[in-house]
Each structure stands twice: as structure tokens, then as C-alpha cells.
Amino acid sequence: MVDSTNKSHKQLHVSSTGNAVLFTNTGIPSPIDLSSSQEHCPTDRQGSPIHITKNFNSSTERPINGTIETGEQGEGGDCNEDQYYPFPVKSEACIEKIKQDWTRAVEYLQEGDILSKLREMALHGELESQPLRGIAWRLFLGTLPTATEDWIDIVNKQREKYNSDKNKADIDPHKNASSHPLSNESNSAWNQFFLDQDLWLIVDQDVSRTWPEERIFTNERIRNIMRRVLFTYAKSQSKVDYRQGMHELLANIIYMMCREHERCPVSQEIPEYIRHVVDPSYLEEDAYTLFSELMEYCDIWYDGGHEEATFKARTNIRIETPFEKEGVVLGLTALSKKLNKIQGTLLKKHDPELSEYMDSLELSPQVYGIRWIRLLFGREFILKDILLLWDALFAQGTSLDLIDYIAIAILMAMKNSIIDHDQGDCLLRLMKYPQDFPVRDIINHALHLKHPSWPNPYGSIKPVISSEKLSTLSSPPREQIDYANNNSTEDPSKWSKMKVNQNWKSKSLRSNTIQVTNTQPLSIRSKIQSLPRPRVPKSAHTQLSNPLSSPKKQSESSLTGSNSQNPVATKTADDQISNLEKEIEFLRVKSDYCVGKLTAYVDHLQDIMYQSTFATKESEDLAYLAIAGIKQVRDVLKGQLELGDSSFGLDSNMYHYLRESNPNLVEDHISKDSPPSDQDKPPRYRLGSKELEEDSVDLFTNTSPPISAEMVEIHSPPDPLLDSSQDFPLSPSHPLEYID
Amino acid sequence: MSARRKVLLKVIILGDSGVGKTSLMNQYVNKRFTTQYKATIGADFLTKEVMIDDRLVTMQIWDTAGQERFQSLGVAFYRGADCCVLVYDVTQPNTFKTLDSWRDEFLIQASPRDPENFPFVVLGNKVDLENRAVPTRRAQGWCETKNNIPYFETSAKEAINVEQAFQAIARKALEQDAKTSCDIGLEPNIPIQPEPAKDKSGCCT
């Protein structure tokens, strides 16, 4: 595919009429006579606008095997899961793997609502390992509908549209007899032709410096596709002409598509509509479609407003128009407004300290932010990470408003390198690329800033530090506070980190609990085993690869392990405690995870319900009551609502457990161990209401180990008083009303 | 004021897309050239500490995108500049023709106190290439009409004249900095010595 012969500095470009333009590597065309050279240049690659028609309609550029060497693949035919498929695909094993992946993906898609499933995957960074990214982006940006039966038709139309746009974009002045090449009329075909030539040069200049470190972009076929797509776009779609930066948006789309083509379905078992959409022979057409659609939402950030007129005049070297003074009328472009909003309003809201400091340095957001927004952070991370970022960005809707939060997340991530540094240092840091922090953290943080219910990726980092300090001080109450403060802020993606930290975490925990617990380890275990299982509606269980799977195994094994121990021996008591602690930790994280999921699903449901009309008023009420019920379950899990306060009642199992807990001890514990500021807080468990208390006194006397309080405390989430985000009125109702 | 004020010089490089602004900046600051530069989007910058007459100053060199409009970077970006470097490509006449616009536009945006005497330096880049299209005399002629702007012919690729050009730029910027410091009432630490002879030391004649 790669034209290896085309390496000379000077290249010949033959027009459709046989006039050649000599291109040097500096890009200045000078017409020379080469009427017979066409035959000698069969592999003409670069081309000028004049040349486009020939290139556009030629099928010789279609790859024979439908793939392009991207240059990043592993050696040979190995099929490592973590790597991209080797490209072009050769080995049997790989083909089999691809087949399997696709079969799984197709099955997955056929199960229900494609769009929300793909969104879910995109937000969790799971499109990376799936062959569905291209389809997902098309759906997110709206170039494909959710109804798969329409895909073939729609894609055919889009491909036709490109070819017609492309043909229209190419103006051949020779066909227009009334026009003279030396005419100065601005609308003459020749004048347009010369303008096009300038446009082509500008596009060419940027295309040849696109991702120079990625081999795929040194491929002349890819470069030609980029030139034609950008040129056609600028001529037929763009409201703002071609502007620098657009080439990198297109490049990333092409890169994604080439990756997608690596996994192009080879099996006939894959439905026709999918094979049609990801057909590698339509890279150019499909890239154009997706790029034009993306530009629909991004072009305002390329719009220089009044300056456009002067720019166009200036690039037209045949008509010398000086800068017009009104071209620089003060007034903010859409991009400036957006950037001012990000640094001025959003950052102020989420990190006032940082915002204030940046203001004091007079750091103008335009200086660092233009590149961020125009390229959709396309230089701030490595290419592979940019695709992950775009997954989430597009999944959040075509307003692309996640951009603002990503920007804030990046600023907050580099806070330490900004605060207390001078303007020069800050700018160096802000403008350095690619950034060196994990893209998943940035995505998750941005999502958290946008939707506070999304788990904060940094939630689990802070407690690690503070607990470490505290564990050396061996101060039980503060340890508990740390847990409470960070209870609901775990992110599933932090699981690996969590596992690593678990060892010493349990160590520090042990130092706190051991004094209380080693008297009656057995009863603790029985308590923990009777802990309520988080109640999550079935629908909330995700089909996606569940980060819980490995910890679950661990927990189960630890449980069986502890069963086989002799509880009487003091030595094994330690092991037991550590196992139990692990279990508690696991339960805690699991419930946090479920809270996150529940919240997301409830939000979805609610959005749909607001837009729907119900058959009867009664069914509407029931639906909203059900939502309210799910929210209560969530809030109990989250710890914002006590079980006794919820309106959904208690089953016999729960009732039994509540009766077993000793409310007195709970009260006792709070008054003794909590710092003074905590004294005003309501008891952790409202089940200490009078009837229950009286009832449980005699039942409880035998099995009332102090650890139950400890355990409950550890398991208990943030104090409701600390969190004002409750979104529905709490109507404390008496727990016993709900007991059968 | 016994201790000398820390001097930070702000230099802005302007010119059409692809004339070699990023390359020149990198050649001067990092002594490196690569053909792998990407198009600058918005702006970029590097700093370099330089000695000028036993005086250590920090040069903050701002590289702008050739296609970037002034408006998007904001007026604040241009204000406070101590020197403006205009770059064109000697093999592309249209990049030379636009120097006028770049200069005018800069003066409008930066609105310096004394526009007539605001320091510019013009660099004709890519002299290593054979297909030169703008004669030296033509460029010099233009510079003379603009209040004798110092003119250098450079090659970022071959590191021709880059050091000399930036020395002159630093000197000009320092003079300007001293001037503006005077204007706002700071102690003039730098003796203002316009040194036309030195300025032209690296110039093509």
C-alpha cells in the first residue's frame, strides 16, 4: 500500500489537462510545461485541487485486503488481548479471536437498547477492548440511528453524499469558457480555482505534519484521504473554511477507524448491517461522514467571528486586501466565551482556591485553552488515551459539554504545580503536553464534577494517606471518621489500587479493632455473616465486566478460610479478624459500587419518566413511588438514610438483624468515641427507637459484643449531616409500622 | 533599590503558517531541529535565560499559530510584549506580503505607547532551501520603510543566524522593557543605549 518510491523532495502533480505543477517540499507551486508526463507519473500521490477529480474517482487507492498498515501492532501473528490486533490480519488464531469478539459484541448489542449500553461502556472505558468503538461513535454523534435495520441504507446514502460533495468541490475552470485566467472578478471560475489551490496548500501543509510519530500518518494513502476529506469539507460543509486543528480531529477519527478495520468482521455469521458499516474499503467516505458530523458541534470553536472576512481576503494573494480595521472589532468568539466560562465560573465553583490563584497570576484561559478545546484535548494525552477520552465525551451527548469538566479536571489535577508557582512556571505546566496523569482519572473526575453521583476517582486516594498517618497514632475514632468521609467516593476503576492497599489498611484497622474484638471473635463473625446484603434491583446489575468479580472471589475464599480455622486458638483469631476486616471492606466497597450504579439507573429512569405520558394517573403515581422507593434503597446503602427511616419496610430477616443489634451500645459508642463535633449527630441507627429497644433488651443480652458497634460504625457511611445532596424529602416513619 | 529587578522579556513570534516559527524557537532555545513539528494550535512558549551585557534576563518566547487570529488569544496576550518577531519564508512570496498585515495587526492589538518605535525584528527563514523567491534586497527595502526594522536571514534547520537574530531580539526587548519600566515609574536599571551597529551585526547586507 505504501508508495515507497515517492520519497524525492520534488514531486510532480499533473492536472487533468496535462499542465503540471511542480511541488517542492516547501510547497510553492510553479507551473511548468510537462504535457507528456502523465504516463510517467502513475503513482502520483500528493495532488493539487486540479488533480483531485482523477484521484477521487480512481479505485486504485482502495486497499486490496481492505486494511492499512498502522505500524503499531505487535510482531507476527500473536493475538495478545492487551494489544491491538496485528495488522493486516494474518493468523488463524487472530481471525478466530476477532470472530469471537464480534459474535459476543453482536449478541450483546441485540439484547436491548444499544445506545444506552454503548454509553455505559464508553463512560467506563470499556470500548477500548471491544470492536464496537466505531459503531458507538457513529451512534453517539448521530450518523447512525439506533434502528439497525436502517443502517445499510443510511450508510449507502452517506457514502454517496461524500462522493457528490467531493465532485462538486472540484472546480475545473477549463470547463467554463467565459472565464479568463487573468480575470480579477472574485467569482470567476479561475479565481475560485486559485483560491482552491491556496486552500489545498494550507491543508497539505497541516496534513503532512499530522502525528508525525504515528506510522499510519506517514502513509501516503492515508494522507491523501485526509487531504481530500478536509478539502471537500472546507468547500462544501464548513461554515468557517478549513482551520488548523481540524486536521487533527480528522486524524483521530481515521486512526480510530483504522483500528476498527483491524478488527473488521471476517465471519459471515456477523450480521450484514455491521459488516457493511465497518467495511474498510470506505474509510474515506466514512471518515468524512463522521468528521463532518463532529464538526457540526465543534466548528463554532474555530470561528474567528469578524476576522474571517479579513482572513479570507488575506489568503487570497491575488486580490491584495489589507487587514480591515473592523476585522478586529472587540468582541469575544464562542471559544473565548467558553474558556472564560471554564476558568471564570466553573473552576471558581469547584476549586475556588485554584481559580483565585490563577486569576491573581492573570492567566488568560485562551493561552492554554485554545488547543484543549479545538483539538478536544487531542494533544494533551497520547493517542490511545484520547480515544478513551472521546468515548466518554461523545457518550455524554453532542453538546460536548463534558469538555468543560474535563478542562476543570485537568486544571485540578495540576493544582500542585500551579499554586505558589509564578506565571511562567504555571504556563509551562499548563501548556506542556502530553500530560502525565492517567486519563481514566481525568475522565472519571470530569464525570464526577458533572454528575456528583458519579464516583470520584480521587476519593480513595486521600483516605490512604490520612489512614496511614493515623494508623501509626493508633487512634480508633479518627480512623472511623476517615472511612465515613470517604465511604461513597470509591470508583470501580480504582479496584486494583484498592486491592494493593488492602493489606496495610487491614493492618491499621486491626490495631484499632483488636482491643475490642479479640474477646469474642466468633460472635463478630456471626454478626458479619448476618449483615444485610445490599439490595440492588436486578436491572441495576450490569452485564459489563464487573470489577467486583475478583474481590468477590477473594472474599469468598477468605470466608471459607476462616471457617476452617479453630476459633478458640488466639493465633487464628487474628487471621479471622483480618479476614473479617477484608470482608467488611469488601462489603463497603460493594455497596458504594451499587450506590453509583443505582444512582445512574435511577437518573436514566427518571429522565425517561419525565418525558413519558402515563396511561392513568394511578400508574404514574405508582411509577414515581417506585422511583422514590429505589432512591430510598440507594440512600440506605449510601448511609444518607437510616433503615428505620425508610418507607419500604423491613423483612423478617432484616428485622431479626436489627433486633440483634444493641441500640444502647450504638449510642454508647457514639458518645464515647466521636469527636466533640460529632456529638450533635443523630444516632447511626434509628432502630434504637423505644419499642425496639425494650423488645430487644432481653433478646440481646447474650450476644451483645462491643464489636457490633464497631462494625456498624465502620460499615456506616458518611453522616447525613455532612451531605446535603438528598434529593427527596425524608419522611421518617416508624420502623415497626412496616414489620409484618 | 539596591537589588536589580528581575527582568522578564516577553517576545512574540508572528507570521504565516509553516514559515518556521516553532522551528526557530526550538532551534534557539533547545538547539534542535526536527521535521516532526506539528502545527501550533493557539500558542506555545518556551523560556530561555540569556546574558546581555553581564545582565541575566529571562526571555519568554511566545510562538503563535500561523493561522491563529489575534482575537482568539485575547488582547492581554499581546499587551506587555517587549519585542515582536515577524517571520516569513524566503521561498514563499505570499508569506512575505503578509508581513505588513501582521505588523499592523500586532500594533492594534498590543497598542504600545509608542507604536512608531516599538521594536520589531524580521526573520527571513529557510535560507537553506534552493528555491528562494524573495530577494534579500526586497525584504531589506521593506524593513527600511518601517523605521529600520533589523532584518536577519535565517535557517532554523541549519542553525544559520538564529543565535545572532535572537541576541538582537533580546537586546531590543531589554531596551523596550527598560523604556516601559521608566514609563511606569520603576527605576531604570538598564542604560538605554540604542546600538544600531550591534543590532545589525548579524544582518545580511
Best CA proximity match to A309, nearest among B71, B132, B168:
B71
For B45, which of A213, A322, A431 is closest by C-beta distance? Answer: A431
pLDDT at B147: 92
Indicate whether A590 pLDDT > 80. no
Mean pLDDT of A84-101: 67
Average pLDDT for chain A: 65
pLDDT at A729: 33
Residues of B in contact with A244 (CB under 8 A): 17, 39-41, 65-68
- Count how many pairs of residues, chain A against chain B, have C-beta atoms within 8 Å: 124
Query: Does residue A366 sit in helix, strand or coil?
Result: helix
Helix or strand holding residue A310 (H, E): helix A307-315
- A367 or A726, which is more confident? A367
Indicate whether A725 pLDDT > 50. no
For residue range A283-309, what is the model confidence (pLDDT) as tens digits? 999 999 999 999 999 988 988 654 443
pLDDT at A234: 93
Indicate whether B159 pLDDT > 70. yes
Q: How far is B97 from chain A (nearest CA, A)?
A: 8
Share of chain B above pLDDT 90, in %: 64
Query: Does residue A737 sit in helix, strand or coil?
Result: helix
Burial A444-478 (b: 16+ CB within 10 A, else e): bbbbbbbeebbbbbbbbeebbeebeebbeeeebbb
Rounded to 5, what percent of chain A is helix, strand, coil? Answer: 65, 0, 35
What are the grid coordinates assigned to A85, written together? Answer: 490486533
For A322, which of B36, B66, B100 is closest by C-beta distance? Answer: B100
For B36, which of A213, A322, A335 is closest by C-beta distance? Answer: A213
B67, B88, B125, B157: best to mutate for the A interface, most A CBs within 10 A: B67
The confidence band for A105, taking pLDDT boundaries of 50, 70 and 90, is: confident
Alpha-carbon distance of A202 to A199, in angstroms, equals: 5
Contact A210 B17 (CB under 8 A): no
pLDDT at A529: 36
- Phi/psi-derived region of residue B55, left when phi > 0, alpha when psi is between -120 and 50, beta in every other case: beta
Average the pLDDT over each of A428-437, A668-677, B44-53 and give the range with the smallest value: A668-677
Query: Does residue A188 sit in helix, strand or coil?
Result: coil
Contact A453, A603 (CB under 8 A): yes
Query: Which chain A residue shows the shortest CA-CA distance from B37?
Result: A209
Q: How far is A131 from chain B (nearest CA, A)?
A: 30
Indicate whether A544 pLDDT > 60. no
Q: How far is B187 from chain A (nearest CA, A)?
A: 22
- A607 or A419, which is more confident? A419
Contact B41 A333 (CB under 8 A): no
Contact A328 B105 (CB under 8 A): yes
- A39 or A126, which is more confident? A126
Position of cell 491491538?
Answer: A84
For A304, which of B36, B69, B129 is closest by C-beta distance? Answer: B69
Best CA proximity match to A595, nearest among A539, A645, A534, A651:
A534
B63, B69, B91: best to mutate for the A interface, most A CBs within 10 A: B69
Query: Which chain B residue shows the shortest CA-CA distance from A431?
Result: B44
What are the grid coordinates assigned to B185, written together? Answer: 515609574
Contact A307 B69 (CB under 8 A): yes
- A614 or B198, which is more confident? A614
- B26 or A716, which is more confident? B26
At residue A220, what is the residue type? E
Indicate whether A610 pLDDT > 70. yes
pLDDT at B5: 67
Indicate whether B148 pLDDT > 90. yes
For residue range A461-481, what is the model confidence (pLDDT) as tens digits? 433 222 233 232 222 222 332
For A375, which of B41, B70, B98 is closest by C-beta distance? Answer: B41
* Cα separation of the two ends of chain B: 42
Give me the DSSP letters along B29-84: HH----TTPPPP-SEEEEEEEEEETTEEEEEEEEEE-TT--HHHH-HHHHTT-SEE
Contact B42 A369 (CB under 8 A): yes
Contact B38 A212 (CB under 8 A): yes
Q: What is the CA radius of gyration of chain B?
A: 16
Give me the DSSP letters along A5-31: T--SS-EEEE-TTS-EEEEPTT---EE
The confidence band for B81, taking pLDDT boundaries of 50, 70 and 90, is: very high
Residues of A in contact with B61 (CB under 8 A): none
**Counting beta carbons within 10 angstroms of the beta carbon of residue A313, is it exposed (0 to 12), middle (13 to 18) or buried (19 or more)?**
middle
Mean pLDDT of B35-45: 89
At residue A126, what is the residue type? E
Alpha-carbon distance of A107 to A97, in angstroms, equals: 15
Residues of A in contact with B92 (CB under 8 A): 26-28
For B72, which of A211, A304, A330 is closest by C-beta distance? Answer: A304
Query: Does residue A244 sit in helix, strand or coil?
Result: coil
Contact B47 A428 (CB under 8 A): yes
Mean pLDDT of A536-552: 34
Residues of A in contact with B74 (CB under 8 A): 336, 364, 366-367
User: Would you tell me the crossing angle of helices A92-110 and A114-123 to the nearest 10 degrees?
Assistant: 120
Which of A516-519's residues contact partners 24+ apart within 8 Å by CB, and which partners? Answer: A516/A706, A516/A707, A516/A710, A517/A577, A517/A705, A517/A706, A517/A707, A517/A710, A518/A570, A518/A573, A518/A574, A518/A577, A519/A705
For A26, which of B67, B77, B91 is closest by C-beta distance? Answer: B91
Q: Which residues pair with B59 in a beta bridge?
A: B9, B48
Mean pLDDT of A311-340: 51
How many Cα atoms within 13 Å fall on the side-chain side of residue A658?
A: 24
pLDDT at A579: 81
Contact B109 A375 (CB under 8 A): no
Q: How far is B197 from chain A (nearest CA, A)?
A: 33
